[in-house]
């Protein structure tokens, strides 16, 4: 149970950093999803270069999770895939 909370927290933090860097306005749900997908991509890359001693899959740290999320946003931008946006109300 603690691992699930940890994945959501790291996903939220890396998603917030990535969407700030790429200047994207998305909902909190999609921010967490973006961070988790970035963590999976970052974990896959780090797993290729440094294998853990117990041969289990290990998730990426915050840096590689953020880089993975930025990569996802960049690919979505190039393929013109849009996330649901936050409706900004002007007064």
Min mean pLDDT across 11-20, 23-32, 34-43, 57-66 is at 57-66
Give the structural domain span for 43. 2-78
Residue 45 covered by a domain: yes
pTM over 0.75: yes
Average pLDDT over residues 61-81: 90
Helix axes 28-49, 2-22, angle to 10 degrees: 100
pLDDT band per the 50, 70, 90 thresholds, residue 70 = very high
Flag whether pLDDT at 74 surpasses 90: yes
Flag whether pLDDT at 57 surpasses 60: no
Q: How many domains does the chain have?
A: 1
Residues in the chain: 91
Residue 90 covered by a domain: no
Gyration radius from the chain CA atoms: 14
Q: Which helix (H) or strand (E) holds 69?
A: helix 62-78
Residue 88 covered by a domain: no
With a pLDDT cut of 70, the percent of the chain lying above it is 81
Residue 85 covered by a domain: no
């Amino acid at each position: 149970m603690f691992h699930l909370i940890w994945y959501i927290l790291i996903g939220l933090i890396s998603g917030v950093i990535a969407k700030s860097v790429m200047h994207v306005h998305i909902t909190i749900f999609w921010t967490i999803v973006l961070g988790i997908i970035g963590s999976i991509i970052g974990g896959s890359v780090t797993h290729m270069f440094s294998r853990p001693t117990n041969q289990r899959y290990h998730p990426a740290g915050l840096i590689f999770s953020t880089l993975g999320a930025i990569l996802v946003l960049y690919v979505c931008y190039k393929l013109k895939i849009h996330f649901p946006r936050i409706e900004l109300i002007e007064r």
